[in-house]
C-alpha cells in the first residue's frame, strides 16, 4: 500500500480507519457516514502539524480513498472512507 501512497499517508489512513471503526461501533457516524478527527488526534501518530497533515490528507483524497469536509462551529475536519477503494488498494487491485 505504501508504494501507491506515501508511508505517512498510509499511517494517517490506518488511523482514520481505526477512528471510523470506533465511531461506527458506537453508532456515532453522521447520517451520511462521516466522522471527525482533529489535528490534535493525528499529531502524535504522524508527528506533523496541521499544514503537513492537510498535504498528506490531500494525497488520500487525490487517490480517491477518503472524502474530507469541514463542518460545525467550531470547524472540525470530517472524513468519510471510500471503503471499496481502500479494499482495492489493500488487496493490490487497480483503483
Residue 95 pLDDT > 70: no
Give the integer Cα–Cα distance in Å for 35 and 58.
Answer: 17
CA end-to-end distance (rounded Å), the chain: 12
Q: Kindly indicate the confidence band of residue 15, based on its pLDDT and cuts at 50, 70 and 90.
A: very high
Contacts of 46 (CB under 8 A, 6+ apart): 8, 11, 12, 15, 52, 53, 56
Distance of CA 72 to the CA centre of its chain: 18
Q: What pLDDT score was predicted for residue 92?
A: 78
Q: What pLDDT score was predicted for residue 80?
A: 98
Q: What pLDDT score was predicted for residue 3?
A: 64
pLDDT tens digits along 34-89: 999 999 999 999 999 989 999 999 999 999 999 999 999 999 999 999 999 999 98
Amino acid at each position: 500500500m505504501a508504494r501507491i501512497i506515501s508511508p505517512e499517508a498510509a499511517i494517517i489512513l490506518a488511523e482514520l480507519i481505526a477512528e471510523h471503526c470506533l465511531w461506527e461501533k458506537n453508532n456515532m457516524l453522521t447520517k451520511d457516514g462521516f466522522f471527525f478527527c482533529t489535528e490534535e488526534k493525528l499529531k502524535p501518530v504522524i508527528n506533523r502539524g496541521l499544514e503537513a497533515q492537510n498535504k498528506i490528507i490531500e494525497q488520500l483524497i487525490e487517490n480517491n480513498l477518503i472524502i474530507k469536509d469541514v463542518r460545525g462551529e467550531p470547524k472540525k475536519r470530517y472524513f468519510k472512507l471510500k471503503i471499496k477503494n481502500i479494499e482495492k488498494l489493500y488487496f493490490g487491485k487497480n483503483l
